[in-house]
């Protein structure tokens, strides 16, 4: 029976091995990081990756709306095929296939709805959403192959679990009018912030001490991965122009964790002397207090 009028099919060739792509579906820690369109995050309640297993989760929209999803895995033929049934409204079946192309993988996502009407309604959002979903999968796999391992002799690391979803952490870091409220520990103030959110884009702030002395931070973004990862540096100015007095590069990541975020900030230095200087300036205390201020502000003014 021809079901094409009740189907939405999305196909993509991804530059990673089939095992890596399939694992990103099978591992809930990875799946939670990319499932859904841009700006969405997930809280997994149940995940049993086996025929007959259930997958229950809440998808959190960037506007704060929650979407409950109930799914049952029908068939799994590792690493080639996953067939699942979306039990929530709208009801549909998905057949995901993974074709081995050597160092690349062709992934096909075929959703079959109960009626033409359901399918046409879903097309209003699902076609673009599916493309964004695969964009996020690709970004996740690309990041995994270039994950940074801190050097304890040269780098400083702050890691915390916070009760905010990654999309709100992202907003706090990328919207100047929010960032100014938390970026430096009180009684210091961030009196100015300029952000051009793209690799090579400007990231400038001016911090003012209680005595009225201004400390500018001029830099640029090196990597921008929505809701997940920011890399910026003061070793370069906007459009990658070399800076005169470089100090450090920062990698800030937002990893979904339970109902919140695993927050990690890494400060990278050129040598042990600069690292020690940054530590003695109060890196751990200052960045910890700033994070507390971030959470406080977002809970009070955004949630």
**pLDDT tens column, 178-208:** 999 999 999 999 999 999 999 999 999 999 9
pLDDT higher than threshold 80 for residue 257: no
pLDDT classification of 302: cutoffs 50, 70, 90: confident
188 and 160 housed in the same domain: yes
How much is the pLDDT for 171? 95
How much is the pLDDT for 94? 97
Domain boundary pick from 144, 175, 199: 144
161 and 128 housed in the same domain: no
How much is the pLDDT for 256? 76
Domain count, the chain: 2
182 and 268 housed in the same domain: yes
134 and 165 housed in the same domain: no
225 and 191 housed in the same domain: yes
65 and 192 housed in the same domain: no
pLDDT higher than threshold 80 for residue 144: no
How much is the pLDDT for 260? 85
pTM of the predicted structure, to 2 decimals: 0.62
Mean pLDDT of 223-245: 93
210 and 263 housed in the same domain: yes
How much is the pLDDT for 153? 93
179 and 205 housed in the same domain: yes
Is residue 124 classed exposed, middle or buried when 0-12, 13-18 and 19+ CB atoms within 10 A define those classes? exposed
In a domain, 294, yes or no: yes
pLDDT classification of 259: cutoffs 50, 70, 90: confident
| Residue carrying the six token digits 């209003």 | 124
Q: Give the H or E element holding residue 47.
A: strand 41-47
Domain boundary pick from 144, 174, 203: 144
Domain boundary pick from 104, 124, 144: 144
Q: What is the CA radius of gyration of the chain?
A: 22
What's the mean pLDDT when you consider all of the chain? Answer: 93
137 and 159 housed in the same domain: no
In a domain, 149, yes or no: no
The pairing of strands 105-113 and 155-162 is: unpaired
Closest by CA position to 96, among listed 180, 35, 158: 35
134 and 36 housed in the same domain: yes
Domain that holds residue 181: 155-301
How much is the pLDDT for 216? 95
How much is the pLDDT for 146? 62
Q: Are 238 and 196 in contact (CB under 8 A)?
A: yes
Query: What is the domain-level CATH number for residue 162?
Result: 3.30.530.20
Q: Are 142 and 136 in contact (CB under 8 A)?
A: no
């Amino acid at each position: 029976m021809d079901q094409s009028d009740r189907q939405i099919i999305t196909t993509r060739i991804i530059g990673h091995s089939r095992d890596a792509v399939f694992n990103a579906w099978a591992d809930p820690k990875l799946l939670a990081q990319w499932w859904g369109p841009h700006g969405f995050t997930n809280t997994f309640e149940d995940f049993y990756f086996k025929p007959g297993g259930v997958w229950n989760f809440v998808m959190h929209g960037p506007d704060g709306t929650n979407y409950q999803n109930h799914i049952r895995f029908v068939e799994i033929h590792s690493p080639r095929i996953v067939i699942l049934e979306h039990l929530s409204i709208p009801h549909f079946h998905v057949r995901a296939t993974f074709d081995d192309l050597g160092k690349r993988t062709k992934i096909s996502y075929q959703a079959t709805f109960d009626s033409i009407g359901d399918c046409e309604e879903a097309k209003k959002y699902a076609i673009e959403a599916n493309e964004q979903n695969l964009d996020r999968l690709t970004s996740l796999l690309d990041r995994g192959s270039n994950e940074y391992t801190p050097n304890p002799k040269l780098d400083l690391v702050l890691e915390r679990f916070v009760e905010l979803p990654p999309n709100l952490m992202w907003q706090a870091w990328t919207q100047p009018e929010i960032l100014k409220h938390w970026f430096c520990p009180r009684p210091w103030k961030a009196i100015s912030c300029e952000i051009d959110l793209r690799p090579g884009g400007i990231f400038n702030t001016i911090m003012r001490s209680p005595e009225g002395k201004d400390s500018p931070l001029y830099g640029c973004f090196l990597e921008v991965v929505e809701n997940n990862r920011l890399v910026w540096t003061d070793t370069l100015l906007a459009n990658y122009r070399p800076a005169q007095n470089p100090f450090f590069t920062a990698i800030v990541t937002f990893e979904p964790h339970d109902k919140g975020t695993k927050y990690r900030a890494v400060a990278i230095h050129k040598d042990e002397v600069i690292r020690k200087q940054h530590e003695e300036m109060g890196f751990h205390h200052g960045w910890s207090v700033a994070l507390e201020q971030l959470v406080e502000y977002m809970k009070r003014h955004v949630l």
